[in-house]
């Protein structure tokens, strides 16, 4: 129920007289803005009846002053505090009706974070005072809590970003590192997990932005050969109460609360410029930075969650609520709430946040979590939604890399292939197809070819290139690559949900034993399968994304939903026991091969040519053959029991006028198979680049004049007939002789 006593601000605070002069100030820019004379504060709330700025001491423990912001312009409350300086800690209390049925949840007993805060100081502490209603009351969220939560909340810090802006304008590094997305090799990593256990990095810097900026971390990435890191959320986030009660944390960070503030626990110092220093260090090494961002929901959760920021500032404006009973949140995210991206001020906040991370912090692009939410209008998903239109016309944001996770749990939530032309998309059809094909599922050849070719059936219809497909085998969400070939079932008991969480169907297989084994035959099959999958990923058209640690055989012991495990289960294992150096060397070779042959990342889809045409008649072509060396026909494609084929990619592969061809022979069968290379004119002899066969069982040439390939980058010539080991592949190249 509404409480009249809280509809207007109180002015008789037990605080010392305000020593600061207050003037009208400006509604724009939103947030706290520093200049030579003081700080301008600006906060949007359409339905508030009063807003108070609360100032705190340097430790954030004691509230020293409250200042009522009485000026309103376009529903924005603002005021300029003279004499205030950068470093000041602050937050807000907002007055208004507490009427959950009408969508209002104002409660001035709750200290609220500024949505535009550039930095948060202090830790969030789980306490009943953080809730706007009385916990355990019979009326649930209809009751009203008078507990003050200031002692349990972090505080916002006034940050002078002018030096960062000046440094960004002066930087000459970033324009030099930009490359087309089609030429990118993305490395998805957790900022903390990558360096948390690194033995060559100082304890203070491990797991921080400074840790990733360190020489050992960057040297590893350069030697691996990746061109871009995609960081799991680094914007400030809180752990959900139900995890805190189980003494777990939200390790992944998909629970954002501050869209401008770096996650405080990732800072090794009190200076947010540490993030910009990290970006510049990566840029200097030729590596771009993409942020995984969460603009679909906030850390405040469902109607029974805490009041931390948006809910107490203007619940009705910031969130999408059920029209018939505004107590309830529309939950298209599965996280309890959905941010109202259709509201102009919420839309402005997201765009301002994106520009801030580009212009001030220097990042090169974004991966949008549950991006279907961002394109959903009242009538459903629309690639011409207000958010997409606003984003793509923005002169800054239209130039950066944009990647969508093309689904959520809302109505019409699966939208692979339906995003605007400027977007690339995580392609789960690629993931599932390659897993199933190499697992040995029947009837997968046509689907394998479509995904290997760049998934033109999803993207080309709208004029999008192969780079629209972000190809991945594994990601943070699910099994690691090593676990994909070691477990058939999930093992998530450590999450405290009785193994009910996480994906049930992973298209995985253990090849004889669930989990670790010392059986050499099983270990050999698992090693081949990891190499098969990685080779397929790096040779496919589209943009490959590698999960951090897959190149070293990292395991999560079968946990396919390790979102709450902030421990060695999730951290990169730098120890000699935890690092498969042979697999690492193999992955480095694959990445080098992709860079050596640029047509593996073609700018346009390669269409089928007539079989009678010579290879050299087209700039680029892709030809499919059976293992007997015959051109694939409709009847051959329809053989559901067939799990083998050869593919020839030819054209100006080096982009230097030299015509070359690549031959990939694939055997996903559980038996050795004999391959006859296709007979093609104008080719020099095929020579081996890489293979995934076990050295002890290397296939045998079936003519007596040739010897087999003996290893990666070998120069041996392909025989006319060759027996390829079960579950393996071979890659060859040849010059086109014109």
Q: Which residues are catalytic?
A: 369, 405
> How distant, in Å, are the alpha carbons of 224, 597, 708, 719 from that of 705?
37, 29, 10, 8
Pairing of strands 673-675, 722-724: antiparallel
Per DSSP, the residues of 161-210 read: -HHHHHHHHH--SHHHH---GGG--EEEE-HHHHHTT-TTS-TTTTTSHH
Q: Which tokens is 49 given?
A: 């009846």
How many residues are recorded in the chain?
A: 738
In degrees and rounded to multiples of 5, residue 567 shows phi and psi of -160, -170
Q: Which tokens is 330 given?
A: 């529309």
Per DSSP, the residues of 695-728 read: GGG---BSSSS-----STT--PBPPSSEEEPSSE
Strand partners, 661: 650, 734
Helical pair 215-224 and 273-284, crossing angle rounded to 10 deg: 40
In 3D space, the residue among 414, 450, 387 whose CA is nearest the CA of residue 645 turns out to be 450
Cα–Cα–Cα angle for 528, 529, 534, rounded to 5 degrees: 100
Q: Which helix (H) or strand (E) element contains residue 228?
A: strand 228-231
Pair 543, 184: CB distance under 8 Å: yes
Burial class (CB in 10 A: 0-12, 13-18, 19+), 441: middle
User: How many whole angstroms separate alpha carbon 11 and alpha carbon 34?
Assistant: 26
Q: Which tokens is 451 given?
A: 């995904």
* Chain CA centroid to CA 351, Å: 18
User: How many whole angstroms separate alpha carbon 616 and alpha carbon 450?
Assistant: 23
Strand positions, DSSP E, 83-132: 89-95, 98-99, 104-105, 120-121
């Amino acid at each position: 129920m509404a409480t009249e006593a809280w509809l207007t601000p109180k002015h008789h605070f037990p605080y010392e007289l305000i020593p600061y002069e207050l003037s009208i100030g400006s509604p724009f820019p939103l947030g706290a803005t520093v200049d030579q004379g003081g700080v301008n504060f600006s906060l949007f709330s359409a339905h508030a009846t009063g807003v108070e700025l609360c100032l705190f001491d340097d430790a954030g423990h004691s509230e020293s002053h409250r200042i009522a912001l009485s000026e309103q312009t376009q529903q924005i409350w603002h005021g300029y505090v003279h004499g205030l300086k950068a470093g000041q800690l602050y937050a807000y209390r907002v007055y208004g009706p507490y009427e959950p049925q009408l969508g209002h949840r104002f409660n001035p007993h709750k200290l609220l974070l500024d949505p535009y805060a550039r930095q948060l100081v202090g830790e969030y502490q789980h306490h009943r005072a953080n809730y706007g209603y009385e916990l355990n009351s019979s009326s649930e969220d209809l009751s009203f809590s008078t507990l003050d939560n200031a002692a349990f909340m972090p505080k916002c810090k006034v940050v002078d970003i002018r030096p960062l802006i000046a440094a960004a304008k002066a930087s000459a590094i970033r324009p030099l590192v930009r490359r087309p997305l089609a030429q990118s090799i993305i490395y998805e990593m957790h900022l903390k997990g990558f360096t948390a256990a690194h033995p060559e990095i100082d304890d203070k810097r491990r797991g921080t932005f400074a840790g990733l900026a360190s020489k050992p971390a960057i040297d590893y990435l350069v030697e691996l050969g990746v061109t871009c890191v995609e960081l799991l959320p680094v914007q400030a986030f809180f752990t959900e109460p139900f995890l805190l009660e189980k003494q777990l944390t939200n390790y992944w960070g998909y629970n954002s609360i501050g869209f401008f503030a770096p996650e405080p626990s990732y800072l090794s110092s009190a200076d947010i410029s540490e993030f910009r220093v990290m970006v510049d260090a990566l840029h200097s090494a030729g590596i771009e930075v993409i942020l995984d961002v969460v603009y679909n929901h906030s850390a405040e959760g469902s109607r029974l969650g805490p009041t931390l920021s948006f809910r107490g500032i203007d619940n009705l404006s910031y969130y999408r609520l059920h029209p018939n009973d505004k107590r309830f949140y529309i939950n298209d995210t599965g996280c309890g709430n959905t941010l109202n991206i259709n509201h102009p001020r919420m839309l402005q906040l997201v765009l301002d946040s994106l520009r801030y991370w580009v212009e001030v912090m220097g990042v090169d692009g974004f991966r949008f979590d549950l991006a279907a939410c961002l394109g959903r209008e009242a009538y459903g998903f629309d690639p011409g939604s207000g958010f997409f239109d606003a984003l793509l016309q923005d002169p800054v944001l239209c130039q950066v890399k944009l990647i969508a996770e093309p689904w959520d749990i809302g109505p019409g939530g699966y939208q692979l292939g339906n995003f605007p032309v400027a977007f690339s998309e995580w392609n789960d059809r690629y993931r599932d197809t390659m897993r199933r094909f190499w697992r040995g599922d029947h009837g997968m050849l046509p689907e394998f070819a479509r995904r290997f070719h760049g998934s033109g059936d999803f993207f080309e219809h709208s004029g999008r290139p192969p780079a629209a497909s972000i190809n991945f085998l594994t990601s943070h969400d699910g099994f690691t690559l090593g676990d994909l070939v070691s477990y058939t079932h999930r093992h998530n008991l450590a999450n405290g949900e009785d193994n009910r969480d996480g994906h049930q169907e992973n298209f995985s297989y253990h090849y004889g034993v669930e989990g670790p084994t010392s059986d050499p035959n099983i270990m050999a099959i698992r090693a081949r399968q990891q190499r098969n999958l990685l080779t397929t990923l790096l040779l496919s058209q589209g943009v490959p994304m590698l999960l951090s640690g897959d190149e070293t055989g990292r395991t999560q012991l079968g946990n396919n939903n390790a979102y709450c495990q902030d421990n060695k289960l999730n951290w990169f294992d730098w120890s000699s026991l935890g690092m498969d150096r042979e697999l690492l060397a193999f992955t480095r070779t694959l990445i080098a091969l992709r860079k050596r042959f640029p047509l593996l990342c073609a700018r346009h889809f390669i269409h089928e040519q007539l079989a009678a045409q010579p290879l050299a008649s087209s700039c680029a072509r892709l030809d499919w053959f059976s293992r007997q060396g015959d051109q694939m026909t409709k009847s051959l494609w329809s053989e559901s029991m067939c799990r083998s084929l050869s593919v020839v990619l030819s054209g100006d592969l080096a982009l230097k006028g030299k015509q070359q061809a690549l031959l990939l022979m694939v055997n996903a069968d559980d038996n050795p198979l004999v391959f006859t290379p296709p007979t093609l004119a104008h080719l020099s002899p095929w020579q081996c680049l890489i293979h995934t066969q076990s050295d002890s069982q290397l296939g045998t040439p079936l003519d007596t004049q040739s010897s087999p390939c003996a290893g990666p980058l070998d120069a041996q010539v392909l025989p006319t007939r060759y027996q390829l080991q079960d579950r393996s592949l071979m890659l060859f190249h040849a010059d086109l002789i014109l």
